[in-house]
Amino acid sequence: MVLGSINLDLVVRLASLPRPGETVVGDRLLRFPGGKGANQAVAAARLGAQVRMLGRVGNDGFAEELLNGLADDGVDVSGIARDGEEPSGAALILVEKGGQNTIAIAPGANWRVGSAEVGLLSGGLEPGDVLVLQLEVPLETVRTAAEAGRGAGARVVLNAAPVQPSLTLSALPAVDLLVVNEGEASRLSGLEVRDPAGAEQAAAVLGRAGSAVVVTLGALGAVLWERGKAERIAAHPVQSVDTTAAGDAFVGAVACALAAGESYPDAVRLGSAAGALATTKLGARSSLPWLAEVRSLLGSNTR
Ligand code: ADP
């Protein structure tokens, strides 16, 4: 089960990003379904997991597009409410030719995800289930959801992303597995993380409250820290063209493997394969791999 954000990404490509007060004419508007929660739900579903998503969209035209996008990938959307007051979440993304971008997020209905969703979650989780959370819905909701998930005997995975500068480690709920990238690991641990050795040190700090920790390091792979022991998991060498959503592919795959009863190291290996494949295609949702692709990267005997 995933409780989290659902956004429509509205993208305009431009020759150069506008300066404050400037108007720049770009290419035609592109629309992509997004949101970390929704992307991670789809990532897990494409690898064969049964996924229920809890969250909110608005009572507007975007909602249909967002719900259909999730349902097309086999995600159960029956727990996604239409909020009467706030519009669907959206991200306004300006991309300069050459790659630089600026992003403004309007959380809208995502910011109203609260006790109603946590109530649904408590009734719907069973021991052995996996609950996946991120930080694009209110932190208080993430905290109560994590408690409810653990109370129901589920394994709780928190992808602590995005991290606001004001967020401290102690404000995060206790979870079974914390997944962060190097930037998030640096901010939360107060240590600079640039390589696997730094990631191990940061993970030891982040895991003090009892969680297992994964620090992802892009092309440098990932570090898994579990009960005082660190393991480095190498990245797959691939032809990367766009790293967008590598982290979402990784988290969705890890959750899928854990729900299938696999160990943390095996789950991280599946996550690394999914993350690597996501970098070989342009876009976010469009780059999340299917099971057959992951199997062929891992070699058909491994899974
Ligand atoms: P985020 O998107 O959250 O910053 P990362 O970039 O660390 O996350 O990517 C998550 C995982 O995806 C990495 O741990 C790695 O296994 C895989 N990955 C990401 N970028 C690459 C790459 N360029 N080559 C191979 N694997 C990659």
The pLDDT confidence band at residue 300, using thresholds 50, 70 and 90, is low
> What sign does the CA torsion over 47, 50, 55, 57 have?
positive
pLDDT attached to residue 100: 83
Determine the Cα–Cα distance for residues 126 and 139; give it in Å rounded to an integer: 23
pTM score, whole prediction? 0.96
Per the structure block, which two tokens stand in for 275?
A: 């993350």
| Residue 207 scores a pLDDT above 60 | yes
Question: Which of 26, 16, 262, 240 lies closest to 271 in space, CA to CA?
Answer: 262
Whether ligand 1 lies within 6 angstroms of the CB of 221 is answered as yes
Q: How many angstroms is it from 193 CA to the middle of ligand 1?
A: 15
Active site residue 72: no
Q: How many CB atoms are closer than 10 A to CB 10?
A: 18
Which ligand 1 atom sits nearest the alpha carbon of residue 271?
16
Domains identified in the chain and CATH numbers: 35-87+110-300 (3.40.1190.20)
Whether ligand 1 lies within 6 angstroms of the CB of 145 is answered as no
Residue among 9, 129, 176, 248 flagged as catalytic? 248
For 115-133, what is each residue's pLDDT tens digit? 999 999 998 999 999 999 9
| Residue 49 scores a pLDDT above 90 | yes
**In the chain, what is the greatest distance between 2 CA atoms, to the nearest angstrom?**
57
The pLDDT confidence band at residue 301, using thresholds 50, 70 and 90, is very low
Determine the Cα–Cα distance for residues 177 and 244; give it in Å rounded to an integer: 22
Which ligand 1 atom sits nearest the alpha carbon of residue 233?
16
Whether ligand 1 lies within 6 angstroms of the CB of 279 is answered as yes
For 86-113, what is each residue's pLDDT tens digit? 999 999 999 998 778 898 999 999 999 9
Determine the Cα–Cα distance for residues 6 and 260; give it in Å rounded to an integer: 25
Mean pLDDT value of segment 214-219: 97
Q: What is residue 27's DSSP assignment?
A: S
Residue type, 229: K
Whether ligand 1 lies within 6 angstroms of the CB of 219 is answered as yes
pLDDT attached to residue 209: 86
Per the structure block, which two tokens stand in for 260?
A: 């299938």
Tell me which residue has its CA closest to atom 26 in ligand 1.
276
Opening angle at CA 249, ends 252 and 213, nearest 5: 65
| Residue 174 scores a pLDDT above 90 | yes
- Reduced to 3 states (helix: H, G, I; strand: E, B; else coil), residue 250 is helix
Residue type, 202: A
Q: How many angstroms is it from 275 CA to the middle of ligand 1?
A: 5
Q: How many angstroms is it from 211 CA to the middle of ligand 1?
A: 21
pLDDT attached to residue 303: 44
Whether ligand 1 lies within 6 angstroms of the CB of 236 is answered as yes
Ligand 1, pocket-test mutation among 135, 181, 239, 270, most atoms within 8 A of CB: 181
pLDDT attached to residue 98: 75
User: In the chain, pLDDT over 90 holds for what percent of residues?
Assistant: 92
Q: How many angstroms is it from 262 CA to the middle of ligand 1?
A: 21
| Residue 46 scores a pLDDT above 80 | yes
pLDDT attached to residue 171: 96
State the average pLDDT for the chain. 95
Q: How many angstroms is it from 289 CA to the middle of ligand 1?
A: 13
| Residue 169 scores a pLDDT above 60 | yes
For 253-262, what is each residue's pLDDT tens digit? 999 999 999 9
